[in-house]
Amino acid sequence: LKNQKYQVKPHSISVQKFQRKLRKLTKRNGSVPLDYRVLKLKQVIIGWVNYFRISNMRKAMTEIDKKLRSRIRVIIWKQWKVPKKQIKSLVQLGIPKEEATGLTLCRRGYRYIGLSKVVQRAISNKRLKQRGLPSALEHYLKVHTVI
């Protein structure tokens, strides 16, 4: 143990419940506006992180953030619906037309496309932050208190 002090951390079941709640809010089959979804995510993340602010959970927050951003990218991709709109949107976000066309016309699923480097470059973490998507890790680092 570090300095022979007790290290507090949330129980794994609590973390799983939190992840389940986030997954429920980022389901792909609901026609919910992105702004509303982001608002709900913000409420859940800020509430949960504030509740567990005395615990050490930097690693868990990093993982949760990564998964959440990936799921949001998939939602945005799915909202673009048709290949024409997907290509146009990617080009608007600064992706070369050939690359955008190649990704759009590949026959892989939403999950694969959401994890692709092209979509990660187009819908970057910075863009998601500008859109209002909260970062669990950032909020945790801001409110974390050591006992």
Radius of gyration in angstroms for the set of CA atoms belonging to the chain, rounded to a whole number: 18
Per the document, the length of the chain is 147
What percent of the chain is modeled with pLDDT above 70? 97
Distances (CA, A) of 137 to 4, 46, 59: 26, 10, 9
CA distance 147 to 10: 15
Closest CA to 50 of 10, 21, 6: 10
Is the dihedral angle over the CA atoms 41, 42, 43, 45 positive or is it negative? positive
- pLDDT tens, residue order, the chain (147 aa): 556 777 888 999 999 999 999 999 999 988 899 999 999 999 999 999 999 999 999 999 999 999 999 999 999 999 999 999 999 999 999 999 999 999 999 999 999 999 999 999 999 999 999 999 999 999 999 999 876
Phi, psi of 123 (to 5 degrees): -100, 75
Contact by Cβ (8 Å): 99, 119: no
Distance of CA 32 to the CA centre of its chain: 16
3-state secondary structure 103-116: HHCCCCCHHHHHHC
pLDDT in tens, 106-125: 999 999 999 999 999 999 99
pTM of the model: 0.90
